[in-house]
Amino acid sequence: MALVIVEQPKEGVALVRLNRPEARNALSVPLRRELAAAFTVLAADEAIRAAVLTGDARAFAAGADLAEMADLDVRGAMARPTQALSAPIEKFPKPLIAAIEGACLGGGLELALMADILVAGEGARLGLPEIKVGVLPGNGGTQRLPRLVGRPAAMLMLLTGEPVGARRALEMGLISELAPEGGALDRALEIAGRVGAMPPIAAMLIKELVNEGAEASLPAAQTMERRAMALLFATDDRQEGVRAFLEKRRPVFRGR
């Protein structure tokens, strides 16, 4: 059985589903390998302009597979390929939307935080409970969460291990949008369709600038921004966008 299912529900949009329902989509190494392979293929597919990552109604992903780690020592923990297998998702150049229902915990939340836009259903629970079993979030949780929600809120979640509901997650800035329970995927696909209709080179540059600019000084980031803006003036899509605006019609962007 495939642990990751890739579909194309609409033009330009890929839907990536975690498919380990018996374990609430716990992120085993085999699942991570399939996920990395899927995103490697999608990154190179010019027909795909945006992607949605989701689980099922019970869980986006309930965390890492603890059974795999039960007998690990320090050397075994350091040798786990988690970080390497996350790279194709972290570095995915196209807009990525996470659609979250049910449990989004531990490694599942760390995975969701790699997305650009997070949509959660009303009944979703998001948290990093690793401290409860004597470890810590080791795939970006202690670093991404404070940058996203601020140190006080992040420390509360990290040190208590307690999850927050979707509404509280929205208030904290942990998610982008709240959907009715069971409606996260439909809303994420709607957003992906809208994003996929935008000029893809501009979309990829916006994602790159936001991510890289966050780690740079403001003057350096603004220099990067000006250069990216100038590059877009050489694209056919920029010309099409201006012509369509002046001609009062819908633009057709081709990624050139």
Catalytic residues: 64, 107, 110, 130
Q: Name the token pair of 217.
A: 């000084």
Q: Name the token pair of 93.
A: 């150049």
E strands, 84-145, are 96-100, 103-105, 117-121, 125-127
Q: Name the token pair of 57.
A: 């109604």
Which amino acid would we find at residue 50? A
Helix (H, G, I), strand (E, B) or coil at 69: helix
Contact 22/56 with Cβ under 8 angstroms? no
Residue 212: closest CA among 199, 194, 225, 203? 225
Other beta carbons within 10 angstroms of residue 215's beta carbon come to 9
